[in-house]
Structure 1
Amino acid sequence: MPNVLQRRSLKWWLAGFVLVVSATLTYLFHWDQRAYLWWQEHNTPADQHADNIWLPGYTAVIQAKPLPGMEKAEASDIAYNPLTGTLFIIMGKEPLLVETNLSGDILRQIPISGLSNPEGVVVLDGNRMGIVDERQHTLALFNLTPETRQLQSADFQFFDLGFADAGNKGFEGVAWDPRQQRLLLSKERDPAALFSLSSDGDQILGEMADLPDQPDLMNDYSALSVDPRTGHTLVLSDESHLLLELDGSGKPVSFISLLGGLNGLSKNIPQAEGVAIDEEGTVYIVSEPNLFYVFRKSE
């Protein structure tokens, strides 16, 4: 039988172990920042919710809907096109641009050549679109019409994004911000970072610049989307199972977890890779390998 001194030493050792584990988890998963944001959310007056996207009011209404035949293509990002009222999903493993309706039913498939690892897709003005290739560390701008049936190198206007040594931790997210006439881009991790790139909706007009405020709530940045109603930005994290709202100055406003049992989800979103929002405020998420989700405001 252990004596009193041994039992006391064991208790102190266990207490120290628990403290170290708690501190490590807090550091890795940013629990302290999330707790503060949660407190901030719950102390925001209800009459101010309408000024924001306000993610805590959202519930999953379509979840884990398979995109047929896309199991091996791997959904990497999604963008909403206000001109057509449809969604465009970029497939990364087998480069493919897929157009769907707002319920995730496939309307057309556009094979892509000239890109090796497309990870992000964005709709700018009119028929102008862009694709981020993580391996080539480029942004490829192009025009897409209802008649487009394939895309190849000659269709793209390429822009070097830098970070050539980032490998598989380079640029993944891209979004068009029409209010501030800029593209927003996210580097996935090591470090995760947000950037802006001036544009007129057709061409790139300047050099890429770091955003002055970088939210420290996520382990990685998988995708971005800008709300056309508020100008706020949605930032998606696969590793953190989190969707975050930033206001026009880049400050965190609200968030929701993408874990099962929360916000109408019956199961975790396995690998959230893309997010989009339309003019009604409906949020769309795609997850590898080929899963489609829709969130709507329930309040």
Structure 2
Amino acid sequence: MRRLLSINPWLYLLFFVLLLGAVLGQQYRLFERAWFSVQEWQHGAQWRDQSLWLGDYRVVIEAKPIADISDVSALTYDPDRRSLFSVTNKPAKVIEISLQGELKRTIDLEGFGDPEAIEYVAPGTYVIADEREQRLVKVRIDDATRALDAADFQQLSLGIGRNGNKGFEGLAYDAKNQRLLVAKERDPVRIFEVLGFPHVDESKPLALQVNTDPKRDARLFVRDLSSLDFDTATGHLLALSDESRLVIELNAEGKPISTLSLLRGQHGLQRSVPQAEGVATDDDGNLYLISEPNLFYVFRKQGD
């Protein structure tokens, strides 16, 4: 009897460790991530030639400060200007950055409460997401633009699953299908598909449709979403998670097929990316990333 009693504390400890491991595994999506690693290993040869295949990417510019800018959020590539655009919210600005991470100009934002994302949709046309108000604003930017007032532009408010400062955090645009993909940060993680905005053809009536894909969202083994990017060449979507320090490539069916870890020692990184906020790819397949407060990264496919 005494021997059984003496064993009980160890049984309790083992039970506690197992319970804690299960809770942490669920919270950090470790089980789903481990299962994906098995699938990636099994199907790597098949998937590599049909995707960006993020595992082959290596950092070539790491943690380069962007002038005296701070609080950067989101990233998009403009193929016409061959430059990158981002937003800051303290103060609210749009910033244009070269492909080498040099600040080219800043544009003041007026009437935006909490700008968190910007996305190129057509020559000179962008959409800016206002996080807390869950508002999308279509704006025009040219060489002469120095300020943008939200009141001057087409807007769309979507009160979907309002949850304080856990609103719209990322944007991506699929030009072929004219759909805007909108990321909800967390609680829960969601990617909405918006059809009909921005309203491109003013001669036709506005026909708005908002779709979701719960199965795809359930496959996202990340704790949050910070940014999105749509790769036209492959038709694949990139989803960036700050808390999970991970970029996931999703195929056209919404299934994860490759990942890029933002942890120290992975993909040539000397240090972990501190707070990843934006991801974008260019026409040559180069991957750009920004992190708060103002750090700039470039990843290039090995051998390219």
Bin of the TM-score, shorter chain as denominator length: over 0.9
Question: So what's the TM-score if we normalise by structure 1?
Answer: 0.93
Q: Which amino acid aligns with 1:162?
A: G
Q: Which of 208, 233, 238 in structure 1 is aligned with 2:237?
A: 233
Aligned to 2:72: 75
2 CA distance for matches of 1:287 and 1:161?
A: 27
* Contact 1:226–1:232, Cα closer than 8 Å, also in 2: yes
| Residue deviations 1:99-122 (CA, integer Å, cap 9, x gap) | 111011011111111101000110
Aligned to 1:98: 95
* Contact 1:141–1:156, Cα closer than 8 Å, also in 2: yes
Q: Which of 104, 108, 119 in structure 1 is aligned with 2:105?
A: 108
Pairwise mapping of residues 88-167 of structure 1 onto structure 2 (< 5 A)? 88-163=85-160, 165-167=162-164
Tell me the CA shift for residue 210 of structure 1.
Answer: 1.2
* Contact 1:89–1:99, Cα closer than 8 Å, also in 2: yes
Question: So what's the TM-score if we normalise by structure 2?
Answer: 0.92
Question: Is 2:20 aligned against 1:16?
Answer: no
Aligned to 1:280: 284
In structure 1, runs of 5+ residues without a counterpart are: none
2 CA distance for matches of 1:289 and 1:280?
A: 27
Tell me the CA shift for residue 88 of structure 1.
Answer: 0.3
2 CA distance for matches of 1:205 and 1:95?
A: 31
Aligned to 2:203: none
* Contact 1:242–1:257, Cα closer than 8 Å, also in 2: yes
2 CA distance for matches of 1:272 and 1:4?
A: 53
Tell me the CA shift for residue 205 of structure 1.
Answer: 4.1
**Larger deviation, residues 234-243 vs 144-153:** 144-153
Q: Which amino acid aligns with 1:259?
A: L
| Residue deviations 1:255-295 (CA, integer Å, cap 9, x gap) | 12211121111112111111111111111111111111111
In structure 2, runs of 5+ residues without a counterpart are: 201-205
The percent identity for this pair of structures is: 39
* Contact 1:188–1:220, Cα closer than 8 Å, also in 2: yes
Aligned to 1:190: 187
1 CA distance for matches of 2:133 and 2:86?
A: 19
2 CA distance for matches of 1:272 and 1:172?
A: 12
Tell me the CA shift for residue 223 of structure 1.
Answer: 0.8
* Contact 1:63–1:265, Cα closer than 8 Å, also in 2: yes
Aligned to 1:208: 210
* Contact 1:124–1:202, Cα closer than 8 Å, also in 2: no
- Provide runs of 4+ in structure 1 moved above 6 Å: none
**Matched length:** 295
2 CA distance for matches of 1:67 and 1:236?
A: 20
Aligned to 1:52: 51
Q: Which amino acid aligns with 1:42?
A: W
* Contact 2:138–2:198, Cα closer than 8 Å, also in 1: no
Tell me the CA shift for residue 200 of structure 1.
Answer: 7.5
Aligned to 1:173: 170
- Secondary structure at the aligned position of 2:223 is classed as coil
* Contact 2:47–2:53, Cα closer than 8 Å, also in 1: no
Tell me the CA shift for residue 149 of structure 1.
Answer: 1.4
Q: Which amino acid aligns with 1:111?
A: D
Tell me the CA shift for residue 47 of structure 1.
Answer: 5.3
Tell me the CA shift for residue 13 of structure 1.
Answer: 2.2
RMSD: 1.8
